[in-house]
Amino acid sequence: MPKINITDVILRDAHQSLLATRMRTEDMLPICPKLDAIGYWSLECWGGATFDACVRFLKEDPWERLRKLREALPNTRLQMLLRGQNLLGYRHYSDDVVRAFVHRAADNGMDVFRIFDALNDLRNLKTAIEATKAAEKHAQGTICYTVSPVHDVPGFVRMGKELAAMGCDSIAIKDMAGLLTPYVTAELVKALKDSVDLPLHLHSHATSGLADMCHLKAVENGCDTIDTAISSMAGGTSHPPTESMVAALRGTEHDTGLDLEAIQEIGMYFYQVRKKYHQFESEFTGVDTRVQVNQVPGGMISNLANQLKEQNAIDRMSAVLEEIPRVRKDLGYPPLVTPTSQIVGTQAVLNVLTEKRYQTITNEVKLYLQGRYGSAPAPVNPTLQQQAIGKEELIDCRPADLLKPELDRLTKDIGPLAGSDEDVLTFAMFPEIGRAFLEQRAAGTLQPEPLEAPKTATSEVKSAPTEFKINVHGETYHIKVTGAGHKEQAERHFYFTIDDIPEEVVVETLDELVLTGGTEGAVKKAIAGKRPKPSQPGHVTTSMPGNIVEVLVEEGDTVTAGQSVLVTEAMKMETEIQAPIDGTVTGVYVSKGDAVNPDEVLLEISA
Ligand code: MN
């Protein structure tokens, strides 16, 4: 019998931490027979970000992914990360939605539910734990580890005891930012094992270079299961390498019993897969000890880096990392994990980019300060709270107690676009992108975002020009073919750039007409949206790239300075944009759903 169990996070957290969660199901399935034979305690394969990326970027049905993985991994427990009452979304759901979601996930093949709340407010775990038990699955209660003036080992032990009392089957320490140090791990693990009679799991990110040592200390002090990632996608913002931990413990009383050679074959497979996603590699995936100061989790750093890169503001990364602890203190030291990491991160980005702290406050920060996410670990900044919520009331009950059942309404809202309860839940998690996904699926137009050519891909397009200019509808575009998949593939990938923007098409047969058709589609996409550049005080702009959620005014409306005129969404957070001056709306350049950038005029107001 192995003394130490392994949960491999290769199918979830590894690519979430290193590749912005972009690994496609097509790259998971071929290796599943080998993964299934290893003898892992579980394979983590599902969570909020994987679900989101499937619907938002990959245009895959996340439920279909789960069913395919279930089929391909018949002998291994499948594990998911669940955000308590937030499920996989970014708000609190009513209890009926929570129960429906857990039951659907269980029926589609999920075995282990690792349930957490970003504020460690256990009231937000209650319904999900009960639903998991009702579905006869494994409920793992989670302690989000963080460091602050109000967090300590006795407090985490109290949480562990409460989770046991709530009926959890095991306890996880979730060190999402890589904040644990080896000797603190030893103390925490020992204290938990001494007071809570449940199996203990450790999930720790390697960001600060300490996680391998933390794992060893945890093992020595009675931890039962450790989370690792296949080595070719381990380290840095990801996790300790599976092969290294297996080797470290081999021949000791803590031997995992796993076959190192077999795991290494899997490592070589993902070494190749990783190249395909090179465009999503963050610059911030190496060892970064700043996390011991700024406490920003790995996934959050790579998302912030991508976000800042999109608006050519990557040079502000250090300023944002310095701003995050300030915002966190103002919010009463929440652990930084979804959704608090986005709430704190987006507000920090806004504070840096607008150059005046809290000039713009996101709706989520406002809701947080009202108590709508639960109770903060420590008192929040009262001045900021007053500024954000004005005369609206504070909440101190379990936030979901205020929510009426909403499953019927959601089912009605999405209507016939939903072909199953699972579709309704996809829509419930992501109202905007979920609906768009279901619409595109119905129309047969689902298309994954393009990938850049793998650096190893060779261009096999020899009989046609590979770089040329074309004129479509009076506009000239510079096209450059950058690579192509193998000729033998039934569905062949072609990679090219249009005015330096990477595009990808998949064609079924190698035929120049088919290639041209795909190119035209991509050109049409590139033509969309040309807005004027801002130059006047009445030009309304966004401080971050994002999408328009709501246009609150029409042409001809009279507005006053400070009045909300637009709602945008960036980094999954909604922000209201206010009129900069008094006047009349003389131009509306956006509509709901548009992607917008800071260098464009969204609305024009004339004094
Ligand atoms: Mn993690």
The per-residue pLDDT for range 248-293, each reduced to its tens digit, is 999 999 999 999 999 999 999 999 999 999 999 866 667 888 778 7
What 3-state DSSP class applies to 362? coil
Distance, CA of 165 to CA of 562 (rounded, Å): 50
How many other C-beta atoms can be found within 10 angstroms of the C-beta atom of residue 456?
Answer: 10
How many other C-beta atoms can be found within 10 angstroms of the C-beta atom of residue 326?
Answer: 15
Ligand 1 mean position to 177 CA, how many Å? 8
Contact 170, 195 (CB under 8 A): no
**What local confidence, expressed as pLDDT, does residue 383 receive?**
96
Which residues, listed in sequence order, are joined to residue 144 by a DSSP beta bridge?
Answer: 174
Distance, CA of 583 to CA of 384 (rounded, Å): 29
- Helix 407-414 to helix 431-443 angle, to the nearest 10 degrees? 40
**What local confidence, expressed as pLDDT, does residue 442 receive?**
96
**What local confidence, expressed as pLDDT, does residue 335 receive?**
93
**What local confidence, expressed as pLDDT, does residue 521 receive?**
36
Indicate the pLDDT class of residue 44, thresholds 50, 70 and 90.
Answer: very high
Weakest mean pLDDT among 256-270, 352-366, 481-495, 545-559: 481-495
**What local confidence, expressed as pLDDT, does residue 570 receive?**
77
What kind and span of H or E run contains 323? helix 317-330
Q: What is the pLDDT of residues 422-434, one digit of tens each?
A: 999 999 999 999 9
Contact 43, 73 (CB under 8 A): yes
Q: Which CATH class is domain 5-276?
A: alpha beta
Q: Which residue has the tokens 């949960």?
A: 7
How many other C-beta atoms can be found within 10 angstroms of the C-beta atom of residue 506?
Answer: 15
Indicate the pLDDT class of residue 493, thresholds 50, 70 and 90.
Answer: confident
Ligand 1 mean position to 17 CA, how many Å? 8
Domain limits of the chain?
5-276, 296-401, 467-508, 539-606
**What local confidence, expressed as pLDDT, does residue 497 receive?**
81
Ligand 1 mean position to 296 CA, how many Å? 12
Ligand 1 mean position to 46 CA, how many Å? 12
Distance, CA of 575 to CA of 78 (rounded, Å): 36
Indicate the pLDDT class of residue 237, thresholds 50, 70 and 90.
Answer: confident
Model-level pTM? 0.78
> How confident is the model over 24-35, as a mean pLDDT?
98
Topology alike, domains 5-276 and 539-606:
no
Ligand 1 mean position to 337 CA, how many Å? 9
Instruction: Spell out the alpha helix ranges (H) of 331-420.
Output: 340-353, 363-370, 382-389, 407-414
Residue 131 has pLDDT above 80, yes or no: yes
Distance, CA of 354 to CA of 406 (rounded, Å): 37
What 3-state DSSP class applies to 294? helix
Distance, CA of 340 to CA of 118 (rounded, Å): 6
> How confident is the model over 300-314, as a mean pLDDT?
80
Ligand 1 mean position to 414 CA, how many Å? 32
Ligand 1 mean position to 190 CA, how many Å? 22
Residue 117 — left, alpha, or beta (φ > 0 → left; ψ -120 to 50 → alpha)? Answer: beta
**What local confidence, expressed as pLDDT, does residue 484 receive?**
74
Distance, CA of 426 to CA of 435 (rounded, Å): 8
CA distance readout (Å), 245 to 4, 109, 205, 229, 272: 10, 28, 14, 10, 22
Residue by residue, what is the 3-state secondary structure of 454-466?
CCCCCCCCCCCCC
> How confident is the model over 172-197, as a mean pLDDT?
96
Ligand 1 mean position to 13 CA, how many Å? 6
Which residues, listed in sequence order, are joined to residue 314 by a DSSP beta bridge?
Answer: none
How many other C-beta atoms can be found within 10 angstroms of the C-beta atom of residue 142?
Answer: 28
**What local confidence, expressed as pLDDT, does residue 297 receive?**
67
Weakest mean pLDDT among 145-149, 375-379, 527-531, 587-591: 527-531
Ligand 1 mean position to 171 CA, how many Å? 15
State which amino acid sits at residue 79. Answer: Q
Ligand 1 mean position to 539 CA, how many Å? 41
Residue 487 has pLDDT above 80, yes or no: no
State which amino acid sits at residue 138. Answer: H
What kind and span of H or E run contains 604? strand 603-606
- pLDDT above 90 covers what percent of the chain? 68
> Among candidates 239, 236, 228, 232, which has minimal Cα distance to 266?
232
Lateral strand order in the sheet of 539-540 = 539-540, 603-606, 583-588, 558-559
φ/ψ of residue 605, rounded to 5: -120, 130
Q: Bigger pLDDT: 186 or 313?
A: 186
Ligand 1 mean position to 16 CA, how many Å? 8
Ligand 1 mean position to 12 CA, how many Å? 9
Ligand 1 mean position to 512 CA, how many Å? 45
> How confident is the model over 53-59, as a mean pLDDT?
97
Which residues, listed in sequence order, are joined to residue 496 by a DSSP beta bridge?
Answer: 481, 503
Ligand 1 mean position to 179 CA, how many Å? 12
Q: Beta strands 42-46 and 467-472: pairing type?
A: unpaired
The alpha carbons of the chain give a radius of gyration, in whole angstroms, of: 25
**What local confidence, expressed as pLDDT, does residue 584 receive?**
93
Q: Which residue has the tokens 């990808």?
A: 504
Q: Is 57 exposed, middle or buried (0-12, 13-18, 19+ CB in 10 A)?
A: middle
- Yes or no: domain 296-401 corresponds to CATH 1.10.472.90: yes
Weakest mean pLDDT among 256-260, 319-323, 409-413: 319-323
Ligand 1 mean position to 289 CA, how many Å? 17
Q: Which residue has the tokens 């709530």?
A: 166
Ligand 1 mean position to 68 CA, how many Å? 23
Token reading at 64: 């279909």
Q: Beta strands 112-115 and 138-144: pairing type?
A: parallel
Ligand 1 mean position to 554 CA, how many Å? 44
> Among candidates 428, 399, 310, 469, which has minimal Cα distance to 92?
399
Distance, CA of 505 to CA of 516 (rounded, Å): 10
Distance, CA of 62 to CA of 59 (rounded, Å): 9
CA distance readout (Å), 50 to 80, 82, 332, 393: 10, 11, 29, 35
Q: Bigger pLDDT: 342 or 58?
A: 58
Token reading at 530: 């040309």
Ligand 1 mean position to 566 CA, how many Å? 34
Ligand 1 mean position to 220 CA, how many Å? 22
Ligand 1 mean position to 145 CA, how many Å? 11
Residue 294 has pLDDT above 90, yes or no: no
Q: 539-606, what's its fold?
A: OB fold (Dihydrolipoamide Acetyltransferase, E2P) (2.40.50)
Q: What is the pLDDT of residues 495-553, one digit of tens each?
A: 888 887 788 877 765 444 333 333 333 333 333 447 888 888 899 988 777 889 889 99
Contact 216, 182 (CB under 8 A): yes
**What local confidence, expressed as pLDDT, does residue 517 receive?**
34
Ligand 1 mean position to 19 CA, how many Å? 13
Residue 25 has pLDDT above 90, yes or no: yes
**Which distant-in-sequence residues (6+ apart) come within 8 Å of 176 by Cβ?**
144, 145, 203, 205, 297, 298, 299, 335, 336, 337
Residue by residue, what is the 3-state secondary structure of 426-456?
HHHHCHHHHHHHHHHHHHCCCCCCCCCCCCC
State which amino acid sits at residue 584. Answer: T
> Among candidates 13, 26, 399, which has minimal Cα distance to 172?
13
Ligand 1 mean position to 205 CA, how many Å? 6
Ligand 1 mean position to 176 CA, how many Å? 5
> How confident is the model over 366-383, as a mean pLDDT?
95
Ligand 1 mean position to 174 CA, how many Å? 7
Token reading at 223: 């931890």
**What local confidence, expressed as pLDDT, does residue 529 receive?**
47
How many other C-beta atoms can be found within 10 angstroms of the C-beta atom of residue 387?
Answer: 13
Residue 398 has pLDDT above 70, yes or no: yes
Contact 542, 590 (CB under 8 A): no
Ligand 1 mean position to 454 CA, how many Å? 27
